[in-house]
A and B are shown apart, each in its own frame.
Chain A
Amino acid sequence: MTGFLTLLHKELLRFWKVGFQTVFAPMVSTLLYLMIFSHVLEEHVEAYPGVTYTVFLIPGLIMMSMLQNAFANSSSSLIQSKITGNLVFVLLSPLSYQEIFIAYVLASVVRGLAVGLGVYLVTLGFFDLSVASLPWVFLFALIGSALLGALGIIAGIWAEKFDQLAAFQNFVILPLTFLSGVFYTIHSLPPFWQGLSHLNPFFYVIDGFRYGFFNASDISPYVSLGIVAMCFLAVSWLTLQMLKAGYKIRH
């Protein structure tokens, strides 16, 4: 247990020591999104009956920042360790690949939750957004961050240069989060795009998370949870296989 806890602690320290960049900066950018979009769109849209656009937007933005930061945490930690070579200290140690996996995922979850909670607390100062069901909110926050933490491990192991990691982030993660219904309910989309959105796992994360706030969502939170859980299991399985085989890290 000590080995695993040490790695987890190290991963937490790693982002906390540069907290301005890893926690406060994403909070600020998320709040900027919120200010701008709410100013432009407030009068035009009412997503659910009685839910103004701004209030509708907040859970989506919180989840988006959690997903992006959870991904950034494990992926940037791994690629930095690979490129500077200090991953060798973990690879030489008796830590098992399962311990390495859980430590990186948990650190990602903690960073995701820290950013998400920070954004939420600040918005409370300006908007009236109460939580309808804390368990749903927490569950989706947890599993969404964990999913992206695991994806971050895959990207960090696969990428050999920062350039490749940036490509993964900008061409996979960013479109999937932006097109997941953060800024709109997918019922407002044409049928083709609605159908396409259903193939995006991040859509279910955000939709389920939103249900926790409004008791209303595009689809049932149970279905969303099931789909997200299956995605998480599949991605975790793949990540564990990569770590076990030493793909790109033990030659």
Chain B
Amino acid sequence: MTPAIEVKQMHKRFGRLQALAGVDLEIRTGEFFALLGPNGAGKTTLINIIAGLTRATSGSVRVMGYDVVADYRDARRMLGVVPQELVYDPFFTVRETLVIQSGYYGLKNNEAWIDEIIHHLDLADKAGVNMRALSGGMKRRVLVAQALVHKPPVIVLDEPTAGVDVELRQGLWRFVRQLNRDGHTVVLTTHYLDEAEALCNRVAMLKQGNIVALDTIRNLVNSVPGCAVRLRLSPDTLPSGLRPLMSIREEGYYILTLDEYSQLEHVMAALRGAGSQVLEMQVLQPDLEEVFVKIMGGAEYRESAAVPT
């Protein structure tokens, strides 16, 4: 089957900056895919090349089998892109914007579908309002609507939830998930790893223009061995034999890091031996954030990853 997006040996240079250093990536049709990476890793550059907004230095991209340079007209019909920047045309209303965008794709009489998108994105009472008068969140919804006017089989969202309130974020994901169930391939970039974990099947992690991880979320999470155990004890002291395992001391809680699950046995034995009573115990699975931090280079990255941007 034709992949939704096929990137081969993609290099991109901006002057002396190597933005992409030989990216190979295949996204299958129907996937819900996330591109992750710190700022400056090359996510937006990659998306812009897929969308034809940026020219690659070398390498090729196909969208649903169409080369984005040689067959750009077909490739662009297959693709709906929600840009990261909050852009709009201040001369027009929401509905005019959507009618014009349909026209660019050669679609006349697209009213029925436009009404449906407007309805799903909760824009109905803003349809006749000039773009200038909309709040940031509303403008973001219009950008999503614009990307969908031509019913593209592949939808790319570049950080669609940056600076967006909870309600819109949930509504947006509900709609995008529905589109994915209806057969659209969805690719997104986000800094919210919990979003990626909740929504996506597969992720690629980019670092300095290279793909450093590409797998299903389940495999990535399983690749981190062991687990963490969160304990509340009575009396509130950790037996000395367990001290080396402790990673974090929270108020009333000890968090121990175990390399493998079999160490649980040893923990329980030590607690029994010391006469400690377990008041609470949680086994914490590694999550995508942990994998991300590890892959991106550990402690030095941890700090910036902890700040949602």
A residues with CB within 8 A of B:
2-3, 5-7, 9-10, 13-14, 17-18, 81, 84-86, 88-96, 246, 250-251
Is A88 in contact with B53, judged by CB distance below 8 angstroms? yes
The distance from the CB of B217 to the nearest CB of chain A, in whole angstroms, is 29
Residues of B within 8 A of A (CB): 14, 48, 51-55, 72-74, 76-77, 79, 81, 83, 85, 87-92, 100-108, 146
Task: Knowing A84-B87, A85-B87, A88-B83 are in contact, say whether A93-B105 is a contact too (CB < 8 A).
Answer: yes
* Contact B77 A94, beta carbon cutoff 8 Å: yes
**Cβ-defined contact, B103 with A5, below 8 A:** yes
Provide 28 A-B residue pairs closer than 8 Å at the C-beta atoms, listed in order of the A residue: A2-B106, A3-B103, A3-B105, A3-B106, A6-B102, A6-B103, A6-B104, A10-B103, A13-B91, A81-B89, A84-B88, A84-B90, A85-B83, A85-B85, A86-B88, A86-B89, A88-B53, A88-B85, A89-B104, A89-B146, A90-B104, A92-B51, A94-B72, A94-B77, A96-B73, A251-B14, A251-B48, A251-B55
B64 to chain A, nearest CB (A): 13
CA distance A199 to B231 in the complex (A): 88
Distance (whole angstroms) from the CB of A240 to the closest CB of chain B: 16
Q: In the complex, what's the smallest C-beta–C-beta distance from B142 to chain A, in angstroms? A: 11
If over half of A's interface residues share one DSSP class (helix, strand or loop), that class is named, otherwise mixed; here it is helix
Are B103's CB and A250's CB within 8 A?
Answer: no
Selected contact of B108 from candidates A2, A84, A246, CB within 8 Å: A2
Residue of A nearest to B83 (CB): A88
In angstroms, Cα B99 to Cα A9, docked, is 11
Min CB distance B41 to A, Å, is 18
* CA of A94 to CA of B104, assembled, Å: 7
Shortest distance from the beta carbon of B37 to any chain A beta carbon, whole Å? 20
From A5, A7, A13, A91, give the contact of B52 (CB < 8 A): A91
Which residue of B is nearest A87, CB measured? B87
Instruction: Report B163 CB to chain A, min CB distance, Å.
Output: 16
Known: A14-B91, A84-B90, A85-B85. A9 touches B53 (CB 8 A): no
Asked if A250 contacts B55 (CB within 8 A), the reply is yes
- Quick check: A250 and B104 within 8 Å, CB to CB? no
